[in-house]
Amino acid sequence: MYQRTIRKPVSFEGVGLHSGKHAQVTLSPAPADCGIVFRVAGHADPILATPESVVDSYYATTVGKNGARIQTIEHLMAAAAGLGIDNLAVEVDGVEIPAADGSSKPFVALLTAAGRTEQPARRRPIVIPYPIRVGTGARWIQIVPSTTFRISYTLDNDHPAIGTQVLSCVPTERLFVEAFAPARTYGFLKDVGALRRKGLALGGSLDNAVVVGKRGALNGLRYADEFVRHKILDLIGDLAILGRPIVGHVIARNAGHGLNLELAVAIHRALGLERRAVGAAIRQLRELGLAGRTDGLAPVSGLAAI
Ligand SMILES: [Zn+2]
């Protein structure tokens, strides 16, 4: 499978969910192996979409570098990942990616309108070599080896409109577009005041979020289990920060941006540690005059392709 970018630049604008501030965004093609790169108007340094660039994960995923910050990147990241777009330049004149309708659907439409093109570089999927787990108690997330990318999610909430929602899926492009991209972010009416005092949800409205009141969603649902679908959408967007497709089974319970990104960092670190272990093992073999005999390192030869 080859890497992909978009064919032509496309722009959109709107108000950010948390900041309430207007922003203009232009998405443009980017070279192979460059990943998703954010540029903020007035700042020279680009912000690479990597785990190291995440500066905040409270209620939304924010990336930043040298004073430049972009808030709430996850629904755009999810759209790119869901459509298999590896490389993309994102120029932002503002502080937050616009909320649009609270889902990834408008971003999917925009990226589809831009067209996609294959690039002369292969994708390098991350093959999960062993279970990795973060979180404790009723909130945790783990990834285990699998032959495909699968997500199994359990969401428990005391609110009767949500309750327990469980979904397990292999998010192919078609399933992503039809079943996950349109699922909107949600919030509870009772929390709006407290969130706004913290400077969050300032741009939130019935047009860009499912608002849950005492008796249920004030503005209707797109799916009976829209809540767990949105949690999966966020997870896809947050894991996209790794910049490469993942081959592994993600199993999550009541996770959020913080835990999603903790898992991304743990995967990143595990792979780095594995690479160092491979390097050390090969150096050791060389010292022992056994260079070239790396086929004996069964788990290692598989990891070398990571
Ligand atoms: Zn979200």
Mean pLDDT (whole number) for 131-144: 97
Active-site residue (options: 43, 75, 257, 268): 257
Q: Residue 290: pLDDT band by 50, 70, 90 thresholds?
A: low
pTM for the predicted model, two decimal places? 0.89
Distance from Cα 74 to the centre of ligand 1, integer Å: 6
Amino acid identity at 56: D
295 pLDDT above the threshold of 50: no
Superfamily of domain 2-122: lpxc deacetylase, domain 1 (3.30.230.20)
Q: CA-to-CA distance for 65 and 87, rounded, in angstroms?
A: 19
Percent of the chain scored above 70 by pLDDT?
89
**Res 285: pLDDT:** 63
**Res 303: pLDDT:** 35
**Res 299: pLDDT:** 35
For residue range 106-126, list pLDDT tens digits in order: 999 999 999 999 999 999 999
Residue-range domain boundaries for the chain: 2-122, 126-262
User: Strand pairing of 47-48 and 36-40?
Assistant: antiparallel
Q: Residue 294: pLDDT band by 50, 70, 90 thresholds?
A: very low
195 pLDDT above the threshold of 60: yes
Averaged confidence pLDDT in the chain: 91
Q: Which of 230-248 are b and which e, b meaning 16 or more Cβ less than 10 Å from the residue's Cβ?
A: bbbbbbbbbbbbbbbbbbb
Which spans in the chain are helix H? 74-82, 105-114, 173-175, 192-197, 226-239, 257-287, 298-303
Q: Residue 291: pLDDT band by 50, 70, 90 thresholds?
A: low
Distance from Cα 233 to the centre of ligand 1, integer Å: 7
**Res 272: pLDDT:** 82
275 pLDDT above the threshold of 90: no
**Res 98: pLDDT:** 98
Distance from Cα 231 to the centre of ligand 1, integer Å: 7
Distance from Cα 87 to the centre of ligand 1, integer Å: 21
Given CA atoms 75, 77, 80, 81 in this order, what sign does their dihedral have? negative
Lookup result for tokens 């788990």: 299
**CA neighbours within 13 Å on the CB side: how many for 143?**
27
For residue range 248-274, list pLDDT tens digits in order: 999 999 999 999 999 999 999 988 866
Distance from Cα 216 to the centre of ligand 1, integer Å: 19
**Res 296: pLDDT:** 38
What residues have CB less than 8 Å from 283, skipping those under 6 apart? none
Whether 43 sits among the annotated catalytic residues: the reply is no
Percent of the chain scored above 90 by pLDDT?
88
Q: Which numeric CATH code is attached to 126-262?
A: 3.30.1700.10
